[in-house]
Amino acid sequence: MGNIFSISLDPIITRCWDCATGQASYICNLEDNLHDLQAEVAGLEELRSDLMSRVRIAEDEQQLQRLNQVEGWLSRAETLINDADQLIVQSPPHVENLCMGGCCSTHPRSSIKFGKQIAKKLQEVKDQKENGDFSDVASKPPLPSATERPSEPTVGLESNFIKVWSCLRKDQVGIIGIYGLGGVGKTTLLNQINNKFHDSTHDYHVIWAVASQDRPIERVQDQIAERIGLSNEGWKSKSLDEKAKDIFQVLCKKKFALLLDDIWEWFDLIRAGVPLPTQQNGSKVIFTTRRYDVCCQMQPNMDNNIRVECLPPGEAFKLFEENVGSETLRMHLDICKLAETVVEECAGLPLALITFGRAMASKKTPREWEYAKEVLRQSVASVFPGVGKEMYPKLKFSYDCLLDERFRSCLYCSLYPEDYLIEKDELVDCWIGEGLLDEHTNLSNARNQGHFIIGSLIDACLLEKQGSHRIKMHDVIRDMALWIAGESEKEKFFVKSGIQLKEQPNAKKWEEVTRMSLMENQTENLTEILECPNLQTLFLGRNRLRVIINDFFNFMPMLRVLDLSRNRNLEELPVGIAKLVSLEHLNLSWIGIKKLPVELKALAKLKYLNLEKTRKLSMIPQQLISSFSKLQVLKMEGCGYGCLLVLEEMC
């Protein structure tokens, strides 16, 4: 009978003992584990900091996007560090409870529970550190289907937007043209289309590009390459055909929507590398132009060419009121009536309404508005063909309202090519050389005045801000400025910039020209003498000049500003440059000259000399620089000739 109830207690006792000793180890190892945890957390923090530094460099300097696994590791590491820190902060009472050399506790249950937490967290931190070795922390981000563009609230474009978007949704429509007068809102409408793509779900890869008149295919190719990830250091060295091949290989595999702004002539999509849109590939091309004939050349179906008309009276007044301010219109009952007449004179052209509205925003008396009305009515003059008979006389009022002649220096910006980004400091230095600014006691004050004028021209919508250091003249305003100069008796401009001239141009009356710009062309030789007794400004920069004959400058006694910059093939200056006795501003930066001719000593009025990046320049005659007694600005960064030698001479 007794054997029936016989039980072996050894296994049970063994398990209980193992359990007891295992639980006790959490107490015995508590202090050691705490010290280890603090050390491991410190190591994890260092590892996390180093990894974050690598991520920031990749994101900020290389424009990469951090990997998801790296982001996950960083997030988990931060959580572990915070959790461990909290446990460490909570540890003192538990340590105080230890007794008998740390092997027992006055509160064993609490100490065992806390000891388990410490041991578990210690292992988690160790594991996290082991998983923190990443060879790559970031990669190139995927290209977004569309990039949002800045856009202001619009008036009167809703119906046009509906027409364009409706065309886009038709499978059989591949190319859509948007045309109309300059300044009527074509680019604004295209912006709306782009942002509609951005805000909606679709399967298009949307590409924005500006064509303009200067090298349209090359410009569009570069913008497409930037958008589809082809642009790199080797891209610029490729030929047009090579670029086209690369673009085609990418776009033929995509369903794309190319938004092409501001084309002036038939644009050869095939030559640019853009596959023609078909019903099979589903791609689209939407372009803007001022010319109806360009629309017909791009695609003959008039249902797919949408004209942007000037605004009807009601919407025109609304747009004008938004820019002049309702407070101004309420200043006097007569002002509101006169404003209606002014809006009528603007003929519904948005650019004119906006520009003139802002110009009149500070005019608070009826007499000022009466004057404005009369000026608009009397501005009757011929304008350039194809641009419009109504536009420039209206826009010119914003120019006429500038404070004085110094603020009308905006005409000077029309010497630069279309869509050219003009450096503010470069422009102001030219103005100083031209004598367009007030006489100042020092150069700093003159430059401050120049920047003040630029700010005023931006406020008057005659220039556009492009970042902190550059400005741009809208192509419509540039055309207007050239028209004004053409109508002027004092100023006669000869501007052939950015049109790829290869030969020296001709003019009917060189003797009347006061400012000339042949910059950004492909001219290699200047071999014909120009008799320009009234010429004050000559821009020859960004050409391919190799030879300028010695007598080229013989008949330019009034020339004050000469820009020869970025003619890298020009290795020698003509000695005839000494004939420019009135010269005050000479820009020789980025040209290939090896020495300066001693004849430059004749330039007694020179105030500005730019020799930046003349890396081949190895000889400057002694006492040449110091002979320029009126010199105020000397730029020699990147010059091949030692700056210290010049400084010693001048001292």
Is residue 276 domain-resident? yes
The string of DSSP letters for 593-643 reads -SB--GGGGG-TT--EEE-TT-TT--B--TTTGGG-TT--EEE-TT-SS-H
Sheet with strand 537-539: strands edge to edge: 493-495, 515-517, 537-539, 561-563, 585-587, 608-610, 633-635
Comparison of pLDDT for 480 and 10, the residue scoring more: 480
pLDDT in tens, 119-129: 898 899 889 88
Q: What is the pLDDT of residue 229?
A: 85
Q: What is the pLDDT of residue 295?
A: 87
pLDDT in tens, 572-581: 999 999 999 9
Contact between 352 and 382 under an 8 Å Cβ cutoff? The reply is no
* Together in a domain, 301 and 168: yes
The string of DSSP letters for 339-407 reads HHHHHHHTTT-HHHHHHHHHHTTT--SHHHHHHHHHHHHH------TTT-TTHHHHHHHHHHTSSSGGG
Supply the range of the domain harboring residue 391.
Answer: 334-341+350-472
* Together in a domain, 455 and 519: no
Mean pLDDT, residues 385-404 taken together: 59
* Together in a domain, 458 and 599: no
Among 71-80, 237-246, 277-286, 476-485, where is mean pLDDT lowest?
476-485
Q: What is the pLDDT of residue 143?
A: 62
* Together in a domain, 403 and 457: yes
Q: Nearest CA to 521 among 213, 86, 261? A: 213
Mean pLDDT, residues 500-520 taken together: 90
Contact between 94 and 9 under an 8 Å Cβ cutoff? The reply is no
Q: What is the pLDDT of residue 144?
A: 66
Confidence band for 154, pLDDT divided at 50, 70 and 90: confident
Mean pLDDT, residues 541-569 taken together: 95
Report the range out of 38-47, 340-349, 601-610 with the highest average pLDDT.
601-610
* Together in a domain, 623 and 535: yes
Residue 491 has pLDDT above 60, yes or no: yes
Q: Nearest CA to 585 among 603, 601, 562? A: 562
Q: What is the pLDDT of residue 4?
A: 45
Is residue 12 domain-resident? no
Confidence band for 636, pLDDT divided at 50, 70 and 90: very high
Confidence band for 523, pLDDT divided at 50, 70 and 90: very high
Comparison of pLDDT for 589 and 389, the residue scoring more: 589
Q: What is the pLDDT of residue 240?
A: 93
Confidence band for 139, pLDDT divided at 50, 70 and 90: confident
305 DSSP β-pair partners: 177
Confidence band for 20, pLDDT divided at 50, 70 and 90: very low
User: For a pLDDT cut of 70, what percent of the chain falls above it?
Assistant: 90
Is residue 329 domain-resident? no
**Number of compact structural domains in the chain:** 4
Comparison of pLDDT for 188 and 15, the residue scoring more: 188
Domain end among 405, 437, 472: 472
Among 8-17, 319-328, 333-342, 351-360, where is mean pLDDT lowest?
8-17
Q: Which two tokens stand for residue 366?
A: 């009826």
Q: What is the pLDDT of residue 533?
A: 95
pLDDT in tens, 266-300: 999 999 999 999 999 999 999 998 778 888 889 88
Q: What is the pLDDT of residue 65?
A: 81
Helix axes 391-400, 475-487, angle to 10 degrees: 80
Is residue 277 domain-resident? yes
* Together in a domain, 70 and 200: no
Residue 477 has pLDDT above 90, yes or no: no
Is residue 637 domain-resident? yes
pLDDT in tens, 428-455: 999 999 888 877 778 899 999 999 889 8
* Together in a domain, 395 and 522: no
Q: What is the pLDDT of residue 102?
A: 65
- Alpha carbon separation from 232 to 62, 216, 226, 248, 422 (Å, rounded): 13, 20, 8, 17, 25
d(CA 269, CA 263): 12
Q: What is the pLDDT of residue 317?
A: 93
Mean pLDDT, residues 257-267 taken together: 91
Is residue 538 domain-resident? yes
Which residues, 6+ apart, have CB-to-CB distance to 589 below 8 Å?
Answer: 565, 566, 610, 611, 612, 613, 614, 635
Mean pLDDT, residues 121-149 taken together: 82
d(CA 36, CA 531): 89
Q: Which two tokens stand for residue 438?
A: 């007030």
Residue 425 has pLDDT above 80, yes or no: yes
* Together in a domain, 459 and 410: yes
Q: What is the pLDDT of residue 401?
A: 64
Helix axes 391-400, 366-378, angle to 10 degrees: 140
Residue 580 sits in a domain whose CATH number is 3.80.10.10
Residue 246 sits in a domain whose CATH number is 3.40.50.300
Q: What is the pLDDT of residue 388?
A: 42
Average pLDDT, the chain: 85
For 561, list phi and psi in degrees, rounded to 5: -125, 125
d(CA 205, CA 259): 11
User: For a pLDDT cut of 90, what percent of the chain falls above it?
Assistant: 42
d(CA 77, CA 52): 11
Q: What is the pLDDT of residue 101?
A: 64
Q: What is the pLDDT of residue 66?
A: 85
Comparison of pLDDT for 476 and 422, the residue scoring more: 422
Residue 146 has pLDDT above 80, yes or no: no
* Together in a domain, 373 and 284: no
Among 6-15, 122-131, 394-403, 562-571, where is mean pLDDT lowest?
6-15
Q: Dihedral through CA 639, CA 644, CA 650, CA 651, nearest 10? A: 160
pLDDT in tens, 528-538: 999 999 999 99
Domain end among 472, 506, 536: 472
Residue 140 has pLDDT above 80, yes or no: no
pLDDT in tens, 228-250: 888 888 898 999 999 999 999 99
* Together in a domain, 379 and 458: yes
- A 10 A CB-CB count for 427 gives 22
Residue 515 has pLDDT above 90, yes or no: yes
Confidence band for 630, pLDDT divided at 50, 70 and 90: very high
Residue 363 has pLDDT above 80, yes or no: yes
Residue 328 has pLDDT above 50, yes or no: yes
Residue 549 has pLDDT above 60, yes or no: yes
**Which residue in the block uniquely carries the two structure tokens 């923190």?**
132
d(CA 613, CA 565): 10
* Together in a domain, 375 and 454: yes
Residue 103 has pLDDT above 80, yes or no: no
Is residue 480 domain-resident? no
Q: Which two tokens stand for residue 575?
A: 């000695």
* Together in a domain, 524 and 467: no
Is residue 197 domain-resident? yes
